[in-house]
């Protein structure tokens, strides 16, 4: 049997009519009999094109308020019969069932209905039954039927009709079947996740229909793809395509700046998912300069993010630095024009979108899923455990450092002063090593640590960290607490007039 097959009949039943007209006109011109029902039938009739009502084919009306329209042997027999099976062909003739070679169906907008905040009853009514059944049937029988299940595929399907005079090849039908099973599986995943909103069933189902092939993965020898709606989150104004590593840094930058969204002008510079510069100031240009001062060496090739519109004064400072990405809520016209002079520099305007509240990663032969760390340490959470109490300025630095510590790879120690990152020790196997790294780095960039604040992502198992910090001039400490030897650290702080507060919340980041 030839793989090329010309259609004689098509079933069309869609919720969205956009872009359907040219397909209907082409099928009619090619002599294809059209079957339809409901609003689609009316749409075709209003085009002045003859159409057979499904109700006339089945001799049953649409019933139960439209819940049952196409669920009938005369419809599914026309789709599921095997044309190379003599028994199937004979039964089609016996029961007067037409062969349906084309099925064009879409689904009720379940996800949009959920997102709209509709009532549960309205959401339930948007669970498609007939459409999903038609898609599965037509896709299953791709040897004889082509299924078009998404408006995004209309252009491809129309091109096939026109260039091949209504005929389709087996490879094309299988391709469209693959697309259709993508449609149906995504739809079912959305329904399951709605019903399992409380996660009372420990099953994981993820479906993302938008994918972008990247130049490569983390390294040039690795393939990489980003799955997600990047355009919804960012308006890209300029620059090259983002790489796998760019996207990781952009994610880290967005997560970090989310902690400072409502603060005074704040600027951060990130490299390899960790901040190498961060400052909050009265003006954005000053915040940028002081963020850069945190580590002007690591800033080279970094990702920059601000919590305010980038003006021309700030843009002039940024322009002298080689950086991969600049992210902000907006750019002034002058700032954008200047920053675009570097053709590869990526400029992103961050849009207001809801971010996922869970985190997923591969682990062994499966996955690890966890809630996002949604706790930001605040003044109301602090437990004052030392004789010396932090003053207002110290408290501001402690909260500033704690916010950054939460978004830095463990083990980490963050040193801050006057709402500026002095240095951080990142990703160390020992908390002492992280502290020594931070002190060494701060000294190398000539920061005066006298009166600085220290934040730790986890408790101190011994008093060695507060002793090292005190010797470096640090006078205030914020940490979760919870060690059986907390009192040893508290005692050292009391003996050396260091203030320390406990948060009760660990912020590991691995």
User: Quick one: tokens of 440?
Assistant: 């060494």
Q: Cβ distance 52 to 28 under 8 Å?
A: no
Convert 162-201 into a string of H (helix), E (strand) and C (coil): HHCCCEECHHHHHHHHHHHHHHHHHHHHHHHHHHCCCCCC
* 266 DSSP β-pair partners: 280
Active site includes 271?
A: no
- Give the integer Cα–Cα distance in Å for 492 and 397: 21
* 63 DSSP β-pair partners: 68
- Give the integer Cα–Cα distance in Å for 415 and 367: 34
User: Quick one: tokens of 172?
Assistant: 């094309």
Considering 272, 316, 319, 342, which one is annotated as catalytic?
272
User: Quick one: tokens of 93?
Assistant: 């003739």
Q: How many CB atoms lie within 10 A of CB 336?
A: 18
* Cβ neighbourhood burial of 230 (10 Å; 0-12, 13-18, 19+): middle
- Give the integer Cα–Cα distance in Å for 279 and 417: 10
How far out from the chain centre does Cα 204 lie? 17
User: Quick one: tokens of 279?
Assistant: 């400052």
Q: Cβ distance 360 to 208 under 8 Å?
A: no
Q: For the chain, how far is it from start to end, CA to CA, in angstroms? A: 57
Q: In what order do the strands lie in the sheet with 9-13?
A: 52-53, 33-36, 9-13, 102-105, 146-148
Q: Cβ distance 284 to 311 under 8 Å?
A: yes
What is the phi-psi region of residue 202: left when phi exceeds 0, alpha when psi lies from -120 to 50, beta otherwise? Answer: beta
* Cβ neighbourhood burial of 316 (10 Å; 0-12, 13-18, 19+): middle
Considering 17, 140, 316, 319, which one is annotated as catalytic?
140
- Non-local (6+) Cβ contacts of 446 within 8 A are none
User: Taking Cα atoms as reference points, which of 353, 348, 352, 343 lies closest to residue 305?
Assistant: 348
Active site includes 319?
A: no
Alpha helix (H) ranges present in 407-485?
Answer: 431-444, 464-471
Catalytic positions are: 140, 272
């Amino acid at each position: 049997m030839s793989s090329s097959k010309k259609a004689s009949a098509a079933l069309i039943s869609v919720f969205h009519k956009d872009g359907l007209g040219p397909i209907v006109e082409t099928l009619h011109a090619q002599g294809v009999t059209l079957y339809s029902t409901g609003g689609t039938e009316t749409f075709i009739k209003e085009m002045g094109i003859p159409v057979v009502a499904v109700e006339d084919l089945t001799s049953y009306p649409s019933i139960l308020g439209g819940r049952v329209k196409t669920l009938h042997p005369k419809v599914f027999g026309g789709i599921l019969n095997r044309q190379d099976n003599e028994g199937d062909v004979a039964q089609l003739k016996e029961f007067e069932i037409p062969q349906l070679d084309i099925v064009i169906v879409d689904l009720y907008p379940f996800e949009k209905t959920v997102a709209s905040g509709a009532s549960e009853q309205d959401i339930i009514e948007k669970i498609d039954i007939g459409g999903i059944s038609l898609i599965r049937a037509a896709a299953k029988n791709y040897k004889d039927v082509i299924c078009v299940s998404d408006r995004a595929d209309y252009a491809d399907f129309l091109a096939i009709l026109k260039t091949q005079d209504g005929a389709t090849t087996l490879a094309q039908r299988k391709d469209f079947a693959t697309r259709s099973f993508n449609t149906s599986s995504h739809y079912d995943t959305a329904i399951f996740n709605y019903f399992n909103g409380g996660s009372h069933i420990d099953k994981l189902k993820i479906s993302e229909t938008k994918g972008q092939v990247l130049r490569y993965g983390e390294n040039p020898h690795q393939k990489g793809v980003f799955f997600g709606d990047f355009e919804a989150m960012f308006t890209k104004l300029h620059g090259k395509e983002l790489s796998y590593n760019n996207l990781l840094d952009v994610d880290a930058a967005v997560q970090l700046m989310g902690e400072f969204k409502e603060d005074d002008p704040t600027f951060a510079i990130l490299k390899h998912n960790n901040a190498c510069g961060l400052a909050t100031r009265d003006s954005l240009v000053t915040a940028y300069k002081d963020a850069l001062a945190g580590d002007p060496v690591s800033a080279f090739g970094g990702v920059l993010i601000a919590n305010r519109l980038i003006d021309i004064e700030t843009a002039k400072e940024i322009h002298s630095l080689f950086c991969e990405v600049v992210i902000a809520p907006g750019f002034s016209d002058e700032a954008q024009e200047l920053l675009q002079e570097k053709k590869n520099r990526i400029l992103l305007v961050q849009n207001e979108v809801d971010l996922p509240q869970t985190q997923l990663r591969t682990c062994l032969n499966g996955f690890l899923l966890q809630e996002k760390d949604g706790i930001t340490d605040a003044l109301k959470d602090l437990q004052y455990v030392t004789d010396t109490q932090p003053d207002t300025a110290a408290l501001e630095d402690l909260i500033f450092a704690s916010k950054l510590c939460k978004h830095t790879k463990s083990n980490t120690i963050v040193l801050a002063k006057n709402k500026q990152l002095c240095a951080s020790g990142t990703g160390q196997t020992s908390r002492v090593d992280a502290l020594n790294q931070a002190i060494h780095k701060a000294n190398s960039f000539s920061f005066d640590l006298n009166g600085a604040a220290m934040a730790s992502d986890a408790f101190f198992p011994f008093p060695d960290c507060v002793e090292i910090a005190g010797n470096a001039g640090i006078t205030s400490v914020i940490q979760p607490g919870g060690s059986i030897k907390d009192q040893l650290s508290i005692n050292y702080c009391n003996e050396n007039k260091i203030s320390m507060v406990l948060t009760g919340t660990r912020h590991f980041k691995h």
